[in-house]
Amino acid sequence: MDVSGSKVLITGAGGFIGSHLAEELVRRGAEVKAFIRYNSRNDRGLIEILPSQVKGSIDVIMADLRNPDAIKSAAKNIDIIFHLAALIAIPYSYNYPREVAETNVMGTLNVLETAKQYKIKKIVHTSTSEVYGTAQYAPIDEQHPLQGQSPYSASKIGADKLVESYVRSFGVPVVTVRPFNTYGPRQSARAVIPTIISQALTQDEIHLGSLFPTRDLTYVKDIVDGFVKAAESDECIGEVVNLGSGFEISIGDLAKKILDLLKKDVKIISESSRVRPTDSEVKRLIADISKAEHLIGWKPTVSLDEGLGRTIEWFKKNIHRYKTNTYVI
């Protein structure tokens, strides 16, 4: 189905990927509802910084994903649900696993129940490469075993399995997209690339966790394109589709690359307080994206150097938004 002219609901629309997806769907002519977690400040997250003509086209609903009535109210007369809302920070999940599980598992259940009741035409559910844990073989395809190496990843495995069950049990039309590490403008300092860039722009040292793990990095515009292609494909209902680059780089080498692009010579420090517990650390991630290529016709188009360059330029203009001397979990 074509997203143009469709009525879409995006849960987690105030977040990093969600805000880019909302912007792209408005550009493509969709009617967009944005479901954003309620707060008393009426802070709509990154929707607030979208261009005014885009922001003015988005219908914002502020509520809590854990409230089934809120989801049902938001999803009336909707054609497509893009379900991105989740508590995503791994260090936060060590501290508050119950909240993470309730939001990510029960929130997904609420979306699925609503989709079943209203006979929603298509749901694009967001997974994460963290569900694979450390690669048992590489590159990682969609058949790789799932490993709960953090409460966050375990909660996402639970959500993914609920999705699978609703496809098999009730015929709910869901595709699961599984992004590997996404980066780009607007990303919070919870993630490694914003951490490196924001510290390099303002300090003489960069403080990171482990430097040896490898990650598969994809620019956010490419990931958004994958979401849209998954929504429009008639072939992928019930499927899980990796979205990644098929290229891996260690955190240490990534930091050096960013410093080279910035023409900065600063010290890189591995800080023990930022290191994951030994058995929780995902040591290697690299995606096999052949399924995405043949099933939904997707592959990334933005190289790592080009994407980092775009991201750096955005951060230079928006560094005031970041607390560079604080470890954000």
Query: What is 27-57 written as a DSSP string?
Result: HTT-EEEEEEE--TT---GGGGGS-HHHHTT
Q: Is the peptide bond before 139 cis (omega within 30 degrees of 0)?
A: yes
Q: What is the pLDDT of residues 1-28, one digit of tens each?
A: 899 999 999 999 999 999 999 999 999 9
Structure confidence at residue 96 (pLDDT): 97
Contacts of 278 (CB under 8 A, 6+ apart): none
Q: Give me the torsion for CA of 294, 25, 190, 212, rounded to 10°.
A: 20
- Architecture per CATH, domain 7-181+220-246+287-301, reads as 3-Layer(aba) Sandwich (3.40)
Structure confidence at residue 325 (pLDDT): 76
Per the confidence metrics, is the pTM higher than 0.85?
Answer: yes
Q: Which of 24, 113, 97 is nearest to 65 (CA)?
A: 113
Task: Characterize the bridge pairing of strands 214-215 and 249-250.
Answer: antiparallel
Domain residue spans of the chain: 7-181+220-246+287-301
Task: Extract the residue ranges of the chain whose pLDDT is less than 70.
Answer: none
Task: Characterize the bridge pairing of strands 217-219 and 181-183.
Answer: parallel
Q: CA–CA separation, 83 vs 70, rounded Å?
A: 14
Q: Are 87 and 12 in contact (CB under 8 A)?
A: no
Structure confidence at residue 324 (pLDDT): 79
Q: Percent of the chain beyond pLDDT 90?
A: 96
Q: What is the pLDDT of residues 289-300, one digit of tens each?
A: 999 999 999 999
Structure confidence at residue 86 (pLDDT): 98
Structure confidence at residue 118 (pLDDT): 98
Q: CA–CA separation, 164 vs 182, rounded Å?
A: 24
As given in the structure block, the two tokens for residue 48 are 């607030």
